[in-house]
Every structure is written in C-alpha cells, then in structure tokens.
C-alpha cells in the first residue's frame, strides 16, 4: 500500500464530471479523438475517465512511487500504446519541451490539465513562465486548458497578485476617464478584492482569468473563460479549478481580442462543488459595470 501523498475526493470527482462535458464537446467539434497532456498521478483517474475521447496521452510525474504506480496501471489497463510517461517537474518540462531523459512532449495537445500543488504563483514565477511557454508551444492549435490550484497559501503570492490587481484596476479605470462616479466605484470594488478579509478564491478568480486571457491573446489566441469552480479537496484543502478554451486566431501583427471582455471575466460567478453537487455560490464578488 502506497503512502497517501494524494487521494481523490468526491468533490474532485464531481469537478471531473464538469470537465468531461467540455472534453466531449471538443471531441465532437474536432470530429476526432484528442491528445492529452497532464499529471494524472499513479491512479490515472483523468485518463481512465476520458480514455474514450483520447487517442494519445502524455502523463508527467515527479514522484518516484507515483511514477511506478502509474507505469503499472498503464500496463494493467492495457493502455501502453496510448500513454507515454515523462519523468520530472512539469514546469521545467513545459519550458524545455522534454524531460531529463530527453523524452519529448508531443505538441500540440488538445487537452492540457495542470493539476498542481500550490497556487498559480509558485516558486517565484516559475509556474507562470511554464504556462506561458505552454501557450507559446501550442501556437496555432485550439486547446482546452484545465488548471487546478490549491489556494490555502495566500502569502505565497500576495505581492504578485497585488501587482496584477493594480493593473486590472488601471485598465478598468481607463474605460471611464470622464466619469468620476464610475471611477470611484471601480476603486471601491478593487479595494474589496485587495482587502485582507476578502476570501482568496475571488482574488484568484480574477488573477487566473486575467493572466490566461492576456497571455494567450498576446500569443494569438482568443480565450473563453468558464466560471471557475471552488471546492475542498484532499485533506480539506481549498482548491480552485479553471477551464479555458483557447482558440487560435488569424495571423495578425497585434494581439487577439476575445469575445469576453475584461468586465465579463471579472463578473463571472464562481461555482462550488460540495457533497457531490455543483452550484453557483450564493456569495459572489461585487460586479463591475459597463
């Protein structure tokens, strides 16, 4: 019996059902089986749940025991021809394009699921750089990007998130240069996001969505942000799960412009999964107008 470094939960399984709907849509839209890149852990529940939609999978694992379990499960499930395993740190692998044994990532992927320990801003900006590198390597190919983060460690990312919240505020204020009343309202709302007592999920909602939207638009993608999902995961850890659809735009000298505006993404309602149910949370952040 392996020590429990990670175990799934009912809430996590319910989130997976939500993602299954998105993956199925992609499978129908592309009229073919999809390729997947992710960190499915030893039990490879992602791959088992979605195997009917997948043609090829790349599974990345850093932990030795998990890796051994994964290799065994790949063989036992008869999926050896379908799954390649890369060893090491996903962030380094995304940046370099290969693992320490020179096994290469097979870009482009249709579905990428980064199911991470820690928050989005982790180990300085290593995770942010890795996700940016992934988006660059996917250039020209539509894909579904699924991201899960643990949001318990607020202090990890306080400064970076604060900087980005200031940028969001500046951008919003730019729409209301002649309207002092609207500017005051924006200052108040962004003050709410920055306040210590505001729950981390709300800050992460706008940080994560804004980060992917701006990074991907600059790299030639239109982005659709689905409502983020909050849930309590393994050992009761507060988690946030994002799903983004990145659609390749036409070749252009300037950035892409998504259909969802900055106002739309800030105003997205957070969903919650609890006791096997998914629902829109009653409590939400204040909305910004336009």
Ligand X SMILES: C[S@@+](CC[C@H](N)C(=O)[O-])C[C@H]1O[C@@H](n2cnc3c(N)ncnc32)[C@H](O)[C@@H]1O
Residue of the chain from 23, 37, 59, 60 that contacts ligand X (CB under 6 A): 60
CA distance 126 to 123: 6
Q: φ and ψ at 220, to 5 degrees?
A: 90, 20
CA distance 14 to 226: 16
- Among residues 131 and 165, whose Cβ is nearest to ligand X? 131
Q: Residues 67-96 vs ligand X: string with x where CB under 6 A?
A: ----------------------xxx-----
Site size with ligand X, rule: CB under 6 A: 18
Burial class (CB in 10 A: 0-12, 13-18, 19+), 61: buried
77 Cα distance to chain centroid: 27
Residues 205-264 that bind ligand X (CB under 6 A): none
Q: φ and ψ at 60, to 5 degrees?
A: -110, 135
Residue of the chain from 99, 115, 256, 272 that contacts ligand X (CB under 6 A): 115
Least gap, CB of 89 to ligand X (angstroms): 4
Length of the chain: 290
Q: Would you say 228 and 268 are in contact if contact means Cβ atoms under 8 Å apart?
A: yes
Q: What is the DSSP letter of 17?
A: H
CA distance 75 to 59: 14
CA distance 211 to 133: 13
Residue of the chain from 19, 46, 99, 169 that contacts ligand X (CB under 6 A): 46
Residue of the chain from 26, 71, 117, 218 that contacts ligand X (CB under 6 A): 117
CA distance 23 to 117: 23
Least gap, CB of 62 to ligand X (angstroms): 4
Residue of the chain from 22, 62, 247, 278 that contacts ligand X (CB under 6 A): 62
Q: Which of the ranges 57-65, 75-83, 193-201, 211-219 carries the binding residues for ligand X, by CB under 6 A?
A: 57-65
Task: Note whether 19 binds ligand X by CB under 6 A.
Answer: no
Least gap, CB of 143 to ligand X (angstroms): 17
Q: Which of the ranges 41-49, 177-185, 216-224, 235-243 carries the binding residues for ligand X, by CB under 6 A?
A: 41-49
Q: Which of the ranges 6-14, 75-83, 133-141, 175-183 carries the binding residues for ligand X, by CB under 6 A?
A: 6-14
Helix axes of 180-194 and 200-218: crossing angle, nearest 10 degrees: 110
Applying CB under 6 A, the residues found at the interface with ligand X are 6, 8, 12, 39-41, 45-46, 60-63, 66, 89-91, 115, 117
């Amino acid at each position: 019996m392996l020590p429990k470094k990670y175990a799934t939960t009912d809430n996590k399984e319910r989130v997976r059902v939500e993602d299954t709907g998105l993956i199925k849509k992609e499978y129908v839209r592309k009229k073919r089986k999809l390729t997947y890149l992710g960190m499915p852990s030893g039990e490879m529940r992602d791959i088992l749940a979605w195997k009917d939609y997948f043609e090829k999978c790349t599974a990345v694992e850093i932990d030795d025991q998990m890796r051994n379990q994964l290799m065994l499960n790949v063989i036992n499930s008869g999926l050896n021809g379908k799954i390649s395993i890369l060893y090491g740190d996903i962030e380094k692998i995304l940046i370099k394009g290969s693992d320490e044994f020179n096994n290469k990532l097979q870009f482009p992927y249709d579905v990428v699921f980064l199911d991470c320990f820690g928050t989005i801003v982790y180990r300085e900006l290593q995770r942010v750089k890795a996700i940016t590198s992934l988006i660059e390597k996917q250039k020209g190919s539509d894909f579904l990007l699924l991201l899960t983060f643990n949001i318990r460690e607020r202090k990890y990312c306080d400064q970076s998130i604060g900087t980005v919240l200031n940028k969001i505020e500046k951008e919003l204020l730019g729409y209301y240069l002649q309207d002092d009343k609207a500017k005051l309202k924006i200052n108040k709302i962004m003050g709410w996001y920055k306040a210590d007592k505001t729950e981390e999920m709300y800050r992460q909602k706008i940080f994560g969505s804004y980060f992917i939207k701006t990074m991907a638009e600059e790299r030639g993608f239109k982005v659709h942000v689905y409502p983020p999902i909050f849930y309590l995961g393994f050992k009761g850890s507060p988690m946030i799960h994002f799903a983004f659809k990145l659609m390749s735009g036409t070749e252009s000298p300037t950035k892409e412009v998504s259909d969802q505006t900055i106002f739309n993404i800030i105003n997205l309602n957070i969903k919650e999964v609890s006791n096997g149910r998914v629902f829109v949370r009653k409590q939400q952040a204040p909305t910004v107008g336009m």
